[in-house]
Chains A and B, each alone.
Chain A
Amino acid sequence: MTMATATPVMTPPTLWQIFFEFLLIGAVSFGGGIVAYERILLIEKRRWLSADSFMATLAISQTMPGLNSVNLALLAGDQLRGVKGALAATIGLMLPGGAFVLLAGVVYSAGGQHPFINVLLAGIAAGATGLLASVTYTIGKRHFVQIKSLFIIVSTFVLMSVFKLSLIWVLILMVPVGLYLYRPEQQS
């Protein structure tokens, strides 16, 4: 067990293997939940990372700006095969979805004004609103009941949606407040 967590990888995978495994995730992950697919790939299916280093990598992905799923692919690829591995993983992950939206975008540009396409998109948009709300609720429910977090959530929302500040100003105002409220304990 300790052996396994210390050295999860015997021989590093090839760039093609990395590309192909992430391409597969990029192609089948309809409806979200990509980080879960990546977890299965990295620590169960291929055992490219130990559970511990996966959790550490995920934490960095969540702390840095950018999409968590893309950051995770980037860092995992980098740990396996350096910058080339990082590129192989992220390109694989984004390729299917990118092709999908471009194709859909071409169709939308051509026919978006058609009355039936318009009502179809109106219905889809209502559904997508429900999805976004459910994702926000799932990620946020732990925070909505904590006084410090709730204060930050409400202030951020008010600055962004009520006072309509631009995002950079919202972050300039809120990040110091958040860091102060969640500063590391001086004495443990």
Chain B
Amino acid sequence: MSALIHLALTFGMLSILAVGGGTAVLPEMQTVLAGQFNIDHTEFVHIYSIGQLAPGPNMMMVLVFGFQLAGLLGAGVVLLAFFIPSSVLCLSMGRLWQKIGERPWRRAVQNALEPISIGLMCSGVYAVAKAAVVGPLTITLAVATFAVILLTRVNPVFMILGAGGLGALLMHFFGLK
């Protein structure tokens, strides 16, 4: 029971702090899950990566952390805790906005939050890379995926699966990292 409350409080807090989208809370989520829930960085990155193969909103993988820690009930608690607080905030502010119309300070808030959330995303890239990019092979796969996604219109899912398949073969048979 106390584990579920701990999960609810943790993900509820992350929900409210998720400025500029879910990716901004990645580094904090990784730190908190490692420090308070014993999910190490490798496991974190594995579950995050599985989530990138899924359709739909890109943070659904939070359910897997809940499931790992407290089964289906844990997944349910994390789902509600991660989505309800931000949704209630957004819905009430959204209605307020409809009434009062656009104001200069809304643009100011968005302008201020955008670079902050980009900074947090950079921290997210750094946090994920530290656990996922561990040798010449994984560096090559990450850089190749980065470049191909930016330069072509290939669906990122195919690139990630390709990196997985190619990487698995080279790691398995040649012991590369």
A-side residues, CB < 8 A to B, are: 25-32, 34, 56-57, 59-71, 74-75, 78-79, 83, 86, 90, 93-98, 100-102, 104-106, 108-109, 112, 115-116, 119-140, 143, 148-150, 152-157, 160-161, 164, 166-168, 170-171, 174-175, 178-179, 181-185
- Contact B90–A125 (Cβ < 8 Å): no
- Known contacts: A132-B23, A152-B119. The answer to whether A108 contacts B60 by CB under 8 A is no
Give the 9 A-B CB pairs with smallest separation, nearest first: A123-B167, A97-B56, A156-B119, A130-B145, A66-B86, A127-B163, A178-B112, A105-B64, A184-B104
Summarize B's interface: helix, strand, loop or mixed: helix
- Contact B168–A28 (Cβ < 8 Å): no
Residues of A within 8 A of B95 (CB): 78
Residues of A within 8 A of B38 (CB): none
In the complex, A123→B132 CA distance in Å? Answer: 8
B149-162, CB under 8 A of A: which get 1 and which 0?
11000011111111
Number of A-B contacts (CB under 8 A): 368
9 A-B pairs, CB-CB below 8 angstroms? A65-B18, A94-B83, A97-B56, A101-B64, A119-B171, A121-B46, A136-B121, A138-B150, A184-B104
* Most chain B beta carbons < 10 A, residue from A62, A109, A127, A167: A127
Residues of B within 8 A of A (CB-CB), count: 109
- Contact A183–B108 (Cβ < 8 Å): yes
Residues of A within 8 A of B17 (CB): 65, 167-168, 171
CB closest chain-B residue, reference A98: B60
- Contact B145–A62 (Cβ < 8 Å): no
- Contact B56–A175 (Cβ < 8 Å): no
Any A CB within 8 A of the CB of B113: yes
- Contact B163–A97 (Cβ < 8 Å): no
- Contact B89–A104 (Cβ < 8 Å): no
CB distance from B41 to the nearest CB of A (A): 10
CB closest chain-A residue, reference B121: A136
- Contact A174–B18 (Cβ < 8 Å): no
- Contact A126–B125 (Cβ < 8 Å): no
- Contact A129–B133 (Cβ < 8 Å): yes
CB distance from A139 to the nearest CB of B (A): 6
- Known contacts: A116-B172, A183-B108. The answer to whether A105 contacts B28 by CB under 8 A is no
- Contact B106–A59 (Cβ < 8 Å): yes
Any A CB within 8 A of the CB of B144: yes
- Contact B97–A137 (Cβ < 8 Å): no
- Contact A171–B116 (Cβ < 8 Å): yes
Residues of A within 8 A of B50 (CB): 101, 104-105, 108, 121, 124
- Contact A70–B83 (Cβ < 8 Å): yes
CB distance from A168 to the nearest CB of B (A): 6
Residue of A31, A126, A127 touching B155 (CB-CB under 8 A): A31
Residue of A34, A104, A130 touching B149 (CB-CB under 8 A): A130
- Contact B56–A27 (Cβ < 8 Å): yes
- Known contacts: A140-B121, A160-B27. The answer to whether A181 contacts B112 by CB under 8 A is yes
Residues of A within 8 A of B120 (CB): 156-157, 160, 167, 170
CB closest chain-B residue, reference A77: B91
Residue of A25, A75, A183 touching B90 (CB-CB under 8 A): A75
CB closest chain-A residue, reference B46: A121
In the complex, A29→B155 CA distance in Å? Answer: 10
CB closest chain-A residue, reference B19: A65
* Most chain A beta carbons < 10 A, residue from B16, B22, B118: B118
